[in-house]
Amino acid sequence: MTQRIVIVGAGGHAKVVLEAVQATERFTIVGATDPHPEGTSILGIPILGSDDVLPALHAQGVRAAVVALGENDLRERLAARLRTIGFALPPIVHPQAFVAPSARIADGAVVMACAVVGTDTSIGPLAIINTGAILDHDNEVGIAAHIAPGCALAGWVKVGARSLVGVGSAVRPKITIGADVVVGAGSAVVKDLPDGARVGGVPARPLPQVAAPKRS
């Protein structure tokens, strides 16, 4: 028997998550929620309304949810609200991903198709291991972090909470990436990065800060 689940989010990332959920064959998707949907359905699944409908869905017996949002801090905040309502946030692992027997995937995490989660690697709650990303042995990925499509992390890499390792980036062994870091697409990370860093390039270097627009 499959478990009923709701998809929180209805954008492009949600489409990938939705198909990963379907591919597991463990869940029946009752619908999706989104405060600003572009239509009435997503890949044939109805959009039920904004997130305000979530308490009613739980009262109707829907007990599982997946937060299908690419924005890391928002994903973390919405997950906290879902837990308060009473939803479980099961990990979603696409059957075409490889997860080593000794790897650990926490609640709310999503591992997409063709990703590799290597030996003794730990994936934190709500993390995204996106399509085709490779994480070798002894990696640690923090809560709500995002390893984007096509990334390659060597052994003993640590990625902090809510950090983004951009598409196609590579990280050398034993690197620590702090919390709330953004690594630009196609970067090569060869040195540890402090919390809040914004880097890009080969090798990755600090990016110029963009000044906030002046109010008139």
The token duo for 91 is: 């990990």
Cα–Cα separations (whole angstroms), residue 131 to 14, 113, 146, 151: 13, 5, 11, 9
Peptide bond into 203 cis (omega under 30): yes
Q: Pairing between strand 205-206 and 198-200?
A: antiparallel
Given 13, 36, 94, 137, which residue is catalytic?
137
Buried b (16+ CB within 10 A) or exposed e, 7-22: bbbbbebbbbbbebbe
36 noted as active-site residue: no
- Among all residues, which ones are annotated catalytic? 137
